[in-house]
A and B are shown apart, each in its own frame.
Chain A
Amino acid sequence: MASLGSIRRSFAPWADPKAKPYIRFENVTKRFSDFVAVDDLSLSIYEREFFALLGASGCGKTTLLRMLAGFEQPTSGRILLDGQDLRGVPPYRRPVNMMFQSYALFPHMTVEANIAFGLKQDGMPKAEIAERVRQMLKLVKLEPFAKRKPHQLSGGQRQRVALARSLAKRPKVLLLDEPLGALDKKLREETQFELMDLQHDLGLTFVVVTHDQEEAMTMADRIAIMDKGRVLQVATPAEIYEAPASRFVADFIGSINIFEGSLVKESAGMTEIRDTSGADFRVAAPARAAPGDLVWLAIRPEKMRVSRERPPEAENALNGEVWDIAYLGDMTIYNVKLDDGRIVKASMINSMRRLEDALTWHDRAWISFPADAGVVLAE
């Protein structure tokens, strides 16, 4: 896993201007009667990338995936796969395979027959099919279940059969529609890492649709955040978390505190903001706005600190009352109510928290953050 991490770090074809995208959506729009599912969307996905389409239900992510698989045709725009325009290419001639959210296993066939289905369709010789099926069963650790029917399997096993079936034809691109959606939390976490290893070992391009940000953050090389048929930001998980491009993205990924205010001035890399309650903030982040403009300062809870006294080194601090404490084992989340009624969230790792003189409900407290903690978001 250590080597995997370093490979992943060095894998960034999207940063290379000479790299050719493997999948390319060009101004793709998809309308269902009067509903616009995908709105003039352009997107590049590179070979061997683990790409996640993340968004709430109805944001168009599944439609995008289905257009790539060939089940839907774009109303306008085009989709290129390895330079080839996919318009008019039916699903059964596309070198992509899909793992369905419902798994869509054929109920009247055994696990073996399900996995062999696509190979038989291609007219592969019988001996080769048997060998490939054996490999696939081994890959997903289902060898003892080859003769079972789908209804005799657990949810996790079915998910693996679906995965094996979609991988059996060795597609250039594997599309996964909420691949872990039907699994319970523990199994989901295990499977996430299995999928990552699999994608890396097979050297495939994965495009996964999910509404689960944690899942996307864990698995993907890059994430596209979608809303109302548009892509709001495409970036690595770290970039999306640390430097969200808009309030929607900031709000969608993880929890975040957002202060509304106006830009006072920006100089020497420092941005000064006066928030609506009159507090002044100094942050080391570019504002991309003119003085007087409405801006938002976004700060993650884990970058906030709660203390009884104002820390002398803190560049920004607010005074309030401890309103709620949620103890989560590894960390504690404090909701501090400011004097104007706004609630600010701070999370502190419990190994760093001093247990003696711990803050408790209704204590007065300072909530502070350093200058490099936040991002400034303009309209």
Chain B
Amino acid sequence: MRKLVSGLGGRAVIAVPYLWLFIFFLVPFFIVLKISLSQVTIAIPPYIPVFNWQDGLAGFFQKLGALSLDNYLWLADDPLYVNAYLSSLRIAAVSTLLTLLVGYPLAYGMARAPLAVRPILLMMVILPFWTSFLIRVYAWIGILKPEGLLNQFLMFLGLIDQPLIIANTTTAVYIGIVYSYLPFMVLPLYATLEKMDYSLIEAAEDLGCTPLAAFWKITFPLSLPGVLAGCMLVFIPAVGEFVIPDLLGGSGTLMIGKTLWNEFFANRDWPVSSAVAIVLLLILVLPIVYFQRAQARAQERAG
């Protein structure tokens, strides 16, 4: 195995992804980190200090001294930010759970469908990606608004006589997130369920399990890696989601993505919005690292 990465050519190949990550992830991250430690001002760019090549080493260290954690203290001080973070985490967690509840039966049905039908079903899951995300979320406004398609249909059926108020509520945000992120849940679930050996279920039934018991004792535990992967893929982007709460949520829907947008574009406070972004990153990085460690351990166990 050691021979696998030897020679200059091998190193160069490995260097490409690292270089990519360095330029497009690490460098921007440090720029944002630096801005988060700066002070807001009315200028272009709207923060001080601004490092300059002409400053020389002495000037660099002088400006370095001007950086401070003020913005972070500000975030901790103002309950608006804390509430926005907590609310984002809650909304993301609830929508992840809802997506799992919708996605699992879908993925299960796909994995158990006849072999010839599976590619078609897979296509149908991926198909919405071919339309712009923004347009699809806009379409939900048309469906959910008081005089929208859903209310018209329900009133036509006579199930309700007052339109339901869904648009511009947190419920609409849940609907939007579940709808938009469903494929990210279904695909990893489908992948784990599809490769599962069906004779395991038969063995469980043979040993006395009803089909339902066999599901909970065999299928579900064995699909946990897929459940975890799907939940991460939905939860992480959902925490920082901006478009869906902006278009579908109301004034009562507090989400950190929206707060960040306001700080950046409405208040033009780049340092505070950078601090918001860095804290969000930290909140998300911790569970991701934990998740990856758990996966590595599981893989080691599987040998």
CB within 8 A of A106: which of B203, B210, B303? B203
Chain B 273-303 interface residues, beta-carbon cutoff 8 Å to A: 301-303
A149 to B200, CA, bound (A): 15
Question: Chain B residues near A169 (CB, 8 Å)?
Answer: 207-208
Inter-subunit contact A106/B200 (CB<8 Å): yes
Whether B203 contacts A90 by the Cβ 8 Å rule is no
Known: A104-B197, A108-B222, A151-B303. A71 touches B202 (CB 8 A): yes
- Beyond A100-B203, A151-B303, 12 extra complex contacts between A and B, CB < 8 Å: A69-B202, A70-B206, A71-B205, A91-B202, A92-B209, A92-B210, A104-B200, A106-B200, A106-B203, A106-B204, A106-B218, A108-B222
Interface set, chain B 138-167, CB cutoff 8 A to A: none
26 A/B residue pairs, CB under 8 Å, sorted by A: A69-B206, A70-B205, A71-B202, A90-B210, A91-B205, A92-B205, A92-B206, A92-B207, A92-B210, A96-B206, A98-B202, A98-B203, A100-B202, A100-B203, A102-B197, A104-B199, A106-B204, A107-B222, A108-B222, A121-B207, A149-B301, A152-B303, A165-B203, A166-B206, A169-B207, A169-B208
Choose among B205, B206, B209 the residue with the greatest number of A CB atoms under 10 Å from its CB. Answer: B206
A117 and B207: CB pair below 8 A?
A: yes
Q: How many residues of B contact A (CB 8 A)?
A: 20
A121 and B208 form a contact (CB under 8 A): yes
Which residue of the partner chain A has the closest CB to B201? A104
Contacts of A118 in B (CB 8 A): 207-208
Contact of B204 among A102, A107, A117 (CB under 8 A): A117
Q: Name B residues whose Cβ lies closer than 8 Å to a Cβ of A.
A: 197, 199-200, 202-210, 213, 217-218, 221-222, 301-303
Q: Give A165 Cβ to nearest chain B Cβ, in Å.
A: 7
A100 touches B199 (CB 8 A): yes
Contact of A165 among B205, B207, B210, B217 (CB under 8 A): B207
Q: Kindly state whether residue A122 has any CB partner on chain B within 8 Å.
A: yes
CA distance A267 to B205 in the complex (A): 59
Could you tell me which A residues sit within 8 Å of B by CB distance?
A: 69-71, 90-92, 96-98, 100, 102, 104-108, 117-118, 121-122, 149, 151-152, 165-166, 169
What is the CA–CA distance of A149 and B301 in the complex, to the nearest angstrom?
Answer: 9
Give the chain B neighbours of A106 by CB distance below 8 A.
200, 203-204, 218
Please tell me if the beta carbons of B199 and A102 are within 8 angstroms of each other in the complex.
Answer: yes
Task: From the candidates A70, A92, A151, name the one contacting B302 in the complex (CB within 8 A).
Answer: A151
Decide if B203 touches A104 in the complex (CB within 8 Å).
yes
| B202 & A97 in contact (Cβ 8 Å cutoff) | no
Residues in A neighbouring B205, C-beta threshold 8 A: 70-71, 90-92
Contact across chains for A98 and B206 when beta carbons are under 8 A apart: yes
Shortest Cβ-Cβ A-B pairs, 6 listed: A118-B207, A121-B208, A104-B203, A104-B199, A91-B205, A92-B208
Q: Write out the residue numbers on chain B whose beta carbons fall within 8 Å of the beta carbon of A152.
A: 303
Q: Are B213 and A97 in contact (CB under 8 A)?
A: no
A152 to B217, CA, bound (A): 21
